[in-house]
Amino acid sequence: MLKTKIIKQFILFASLLLVIGNASAALPTEIADALKKAGVPESGTAIFVQAVDGDRPMISLNGDKPMNPASVMKLVTTYAALEILKPTFRWRTAVYRDAVMENGVLHGNLIIKGYGDPSFKEDEFRRLLLGLRQQGLKKIEGDLIIDKSYFATSVKDYQVFDNEKWRSYNAFPSAFLVNGRNTSFRFTVNKDAVNIAQEAELPEVEIVNNMKLAKNGCGSWRDRFSYDVNVTKDKAVVMFTGKFSSQCGERYLELSLFDDEQYAFFMFRKLWRELGGQFNGSYRSQTEMPLQVVKLAEQTSEPLANVVRDINKWSNNVMARQVLLTIAAEKHDQPANEVRGMLAVKSWLMDKGRNADQLVIENGSGLSRIERVAANSLGQMLIDAYQGPTMPELISSLPILSLDGTLIKRLRGTPVSARAHMKTGSINGVSAIAGYVLDAKNRRNVVVMIVNDAKAYASKNAQDALINWVYEHP
């Protein structure tokens, strides 16, 4: 009798454990219904929800399954950078000469060595060159030499997404990256004509405007025209053909037309001449600094905390790649590559007592077919981050629901508006969101949802349903 009673109690206890386990795995009805309506199976969905001060998840669905997170991977990269490099970390860009400078004339080459600054733009370049002019340098008789040996990346290692070779999100990283190698085209309407102009105007870019004015609404404005690009050593010709509506107002298209050295050279030549300097040389790269050089100037970037904000608010891929390579360069021997970056991040996670076995990092941006992270692992990482010293920098870098960044149009006019800081991610077959949601009782929760499915694009309503559920069920 006693043996039978013990067996019955054990069965009851096991049943209770099963119920508890299933409760954490079972989806609330509104989320399950939204997924079903979107045609997305639960088997292709991973969800993790837990209060930052909680001891177990409220929802855990396929939490240990490695999933492609798309741009949500930027959370891993930026959080790791904030802890490994520290929020005050700054990048350097240095300028050298390899010959005598007399009476304002450099009888040799100007050397620029980059250290991977993701935020180095036209204004920073102008300020650096202005410093040279203020030192009295007027004329450069040699060439511009670009030293990008801090990173050991190769373009042949990278995959082009969406068959959009020229789009700026496919730009490759470089130790000397100017403007993210981005050429921005501004579309406007003046009377009955469509105008197209460059934002940072380079003389080497020629625009052929075959655009016609559309009379209907703006709609999917980008689908109404095409562009053709022809790049040579000396210039790029971009021909636009199609229609643009006056109801679109002002719109922008960002393309990456030149390689890193070309773009840097064209921008240097433009700025140097604008500053009154003389230069008739060409450009080339180097992998080793000559012994007989003299440093002329060095410029530091804005702090990492600011860069992280730009990365996460607007999901900047090339900047995220630059950060991962910087982690590699700072933690391992140079030149840096992505594998060393992944190893550095995994080592950092293991030092924190977290399992990094399932984490796969290809470039740190999420623009990848092979990057993987488990929802539970990412969720625990975000809990660690909230309880850690870099929490203010990380959470302030995330888009605010309904207000800015990639979340500006999500859940407007709802009670949860402005109560979530979250990163989004989307590539073909992947849709994801992760971050922090403040519920109705002002308790903060970590929320992760990753969908890997052919219909992942249709899962945004399910993501919104999850965010609403977390808000409504404190």
Same domain, 344 and 295: no
pLDDT band at 6 (very low <50, low <70, confident <90, very high): very low
* Domain co-membership, 340 together with 309: yes
Q: Read off the pLDDT of residues 209-230 as tens digits, 9 standing for 90 and up.
A: 999 999 889 989 999 999 999 9
Residues 447 and 396 in one domain: yes
Mean pLDDT over 433-444 rounds to 98
Q: Is the pLDDT of residue 333 over 80?
A: no
**Residue 473: what residue type?**
H
Residue 7 lies in a domain: no
418: left (phi over 0), alpha (psi -120 to 50) or beta: left
Per-residue pLDDT averaged across 380-409, rounded?
98
Q: How many CB atoms lie within 10 A of CB 245?
A: 19
> For the purposes of burial, counting CB atoms within 10 Å of the CB of 123, is it exposed (0-12), middle (13-18) or buried (19 or more)?
exposed
Residues 281 and 381 reside in one and the same domain = no
Instruction: Examine the fold and report which residue of 301, 333, 355 is the final residue of a domain before the chain moves on.
Output: 301
369 and 296 both lie in a single domain: no
CATH number at residue 264: 3.50.80.20
Phi–psi pair at 32, nearest 5 degrees: -60, -40
Distance between CA atoms of residues 224 and 244, nearest Å: 7
pLDDT value of position 22? 37
Which residue has 């790791």 as its token pair? 80
d(CA 51, CA 55): 8
pLDDT in tens, 161-191: 878 899 999 999 999 999 999 999 999 999 8
Question: pLDDT tens digits for 13-63?
Answer: 444 433 333 334 579 999 999 999 999 999 999 999 999 999 999 999 999
Domain of residue 96, residue span: 92-156+260-301
d(CA 433, CA 368): 16
User: What does the pLDDT average to over 465-470?
Assistant: 98
> pLDDT tens digits, residue range 262-296?
999 999 999 999 999 999 999 999 988 998 999 99
Count other Cβ atoms within 10 Å, centred on residue 439.
18
Residue 3 pLDDT > 70? no
Task: Categorize the per-residue pLDDT at 156 as very low, low, confident or very high, splitting at 50, 70 and 90.
Answer: low
- The total number of structural domains in the chain stands at 3
Do 236 and 372 fall into the same domain? no
The model carries a pTM of 0.92
Among the residue ranges 151-155, 354-358, 429-433, the one predicted with the least confidence is 151-155
**For 349-358, what is the mean pLDDT?**
93
Please check whether residue 166 lies inside any domain of the structure: no
Q: Domain for residue 52, yes or no?
A: yes
Chain segment 315-324, per-residue pLDDT in tens: 999 999 999 9
Q: What is the per-residue DSSP string for 411-440? A: STTSTTTTSEEEEEEEETTEEEEEEEEE-T
Kindly state the DSSP code that residue 142 receives in the 8-state scheme: S
Tell me: pLDDT of 117 over 90: yes
* 297 — pLDDT class (breaks 50, 70, 90): very high
Q: In this structure, is residue 21 part of a structural domain?
A: no
Q: What φ, ψ does residue 16 adopt, rounded to 5°? A: -65, -40
